[in-house]
Structure 1
Amino acid sequence: MKAAKLFFVDDEALLLDSLEVFFTYNKEYEVIGKAQSAEEAMEKLKELQPDLILIDLNMPGAGGLNLITLIKSMYPRIKILVLTTYYDEENITAALFNGANGYILKSTGREAIINAVKNVLSGQGVFDNKVMTTIHSFLEQAVMDKEHLKHMELEHDMLLKGLTCREREICAMVGDGKSNMEISEALHLSEGTIKNYLSNIYSKMGVRDRTALAVVMGKVTR
């Protein structure tokens, strides 16, 4: 069986050496290169063709997140496994969005790292338990935000139905981005009358100004 080719990127030289030792004694893997920055990695990747790259996020220069994006755009077949100390929502979601195939922590231990590499190479997504907890929390909050948005849209829709025909007509024009002058010309009313209508509409709809009304109209009419 052909050994899988590995490449490591981390600004900690000691960790790079440790990773190399981890995998050198396993005949399933061949360490073909390592780099201490995104720039050095991209330069070496012009000549090397790894199957998987282990990448830290916190590095000088372009950083790990930008490196993931570059690699996936230029070498999409290469698997990427993030190995870092960070498991905050921002870094995790950015890494996955940029194309990472897995995300584990440096504290996870030697055997877990080796198993993660094996699983990512086989096509699986691999995530540390702490990372999974963060992902679950993020998804739960996203669902809550979506439900809140649905509730607000329903509420605004109900309020819209409480307007007069003329008021709904003006709301629709505001949603289309028309100015008071354009609305007044279209409805053959004075701008002062339009302003009075809008004041009543703001009060009924529970919005502060024209911009807020335009946003609401964009949501309830889409």
Structure 2
Amino acid sequence: MTTVLLVDDQSLLRVGFRMVIESEPDLEVVGEAADGQVALEQVAALAPDVVLMDIRMPGMDGIEATRRVVAEHPSSRVLVLTTFDVDDLAFAALRAGASGFLLKSARPDELVDAIRTVAAGTSVVAPRVLRRMLDLFAPHLPDAGGAVPADPARDPRVRSLTPRELDVLRLVADGCTNSEIAAELFVSETTVKTHVGSVFGKLGARDRVQAVIIAYECGLVARGGSAPVAGG
């Protein structure tokens, strides 16, 4: 059973989400919150597998609440609710550690699929969409990473990666699937999965979303396009 906490300041939306979620035999709503502070208290008390998090709320918003949930309760994964698929606040929430975002207009089947995907440890945002968000919004965020280093591979966050792992990270950040990476690097998909797992472990990234953001901040991927694959 996957447990879900609903966080939205609109009670009607929470009722609708609850009806959809609890119609599935493997999903259970264990609590609700109308603002970020109450959400943190509920996460601490209930330890839900997935937090369905609105962004715009009174008091503590969904971005700060996401940051706190990820830092204080890493076993609970956050799925952000947003109005637009390319949105600066949605991207800020991803940067804060959310595992993906979902449009509030999503179909019921899309909602339950997204919850199951996030609970299983996979991100719910296409890497190419994330790259578009990065190009649009990352340079304007208050905590944007600053100037791109002359040698991205020397950034301390990626210094421990092998040349092949750097290749894999660049391709992940460019939106490639495991099978596409395998074809590009002339290796098996099993080998790619091993490399991806190692990259995530060394970066401390829980999923592709976080890995893409780190690669972008380190300058491994050029803004507006992919960096050339280097190394052997």
Both proteins in one fold, TM over 0.5? yes
The equivalent position to 1:6 in structure 2, one of 4, 7, 10, is 4
Which of 128, 131, 137 is the matching residue for 2:132?
Answer: 137
The C-alpha deviation readout for 1:103-128, integer Å capped at 9, x for no partner, is 1111121111111111111111112x
Q: How does 1:1-222 map to 2 (within 5 A)?
A: 3-127=1-125, 133=129, 135-139=130-134
TM-score (norm 1): 0.57
The alignment of Structure 1 onto Structure 2 pairs a total of residues equal to 140
RMSD: 2.4
**Cα-to-partner distance string for 1:64-117 (whole Å, 9 max, x where unaligned):** 000001111110111110112144442233111110001111112111111111
Tell me by how many angstroms 1:43 deviates: 2.2
* Corresponding residue SS for 2:80: strand
The sequence identity of aligned pairs, in percent, is 29
Equivalent-residue separation in structure 2 for 1:23 and 1:101 (angstroms) = 19
Moved over 3 A (4+): 86-89, 138-142
Runs (5+) with no aligned partner, structure 2: 138-146, 151-232
Give SS of 1:70's match: helix
Q: Mark the CA change 1:44 to 1:140 in structure 2 (over 3 Å): closer, same or farther.
A: closer
Q: Deviations over 1:150-178 (max 9, x none)?
A: 9xx9xxxxxxxxxxxxxxxxxxxxxxxxx
Distance 1:74-1:17 versus aligned 2 partners, 3 A rule: same
Per-residue displacement from partner, 1:36-78 (whole Å, max 9, x unpaired)?
1111212223321101100010111110000001111110111
More helix by share: 1
Looking at structure 2, the residues matched to 78 and 66 of structure 1 have their Cα atoms a distance apart, in angstroms, of 15
| 1:137 CA displacement | 2.6
Asked whether the equivalents of residues 88 and 133 of structure 2 are also in contact (C-alpha less than 8 Å), the reply is: no
Task: Label 1:89 to 1:14 Cα distance change in 2 as closer, same or farther (>3 A).
Answer: closer
Structure 1 residues 35 and 101: alpha-carbon distance in aligned structure 2, compared to 1, 3 A threshold: same
Looking at structure 1, the residues matched to 41 and 134 of structure 2 have their Cα atoms a distance apart, in angstroms, of 37
**Amino acid of the structure 1 residue aligned with 2:120:** S
Q: 1: CA distance between counterparts of 2:133 and 2:18? A: 34
Shift of 1:28: 0.3
Amino acid at match of 1:116: A
Structure 2: which amino acid aligns with 1:32? V
TM-score, scaled to structure 2: 0.55
Letter in 1 for 2:73: Y
Q: Which amino acid aligns with 2:13?
A: L
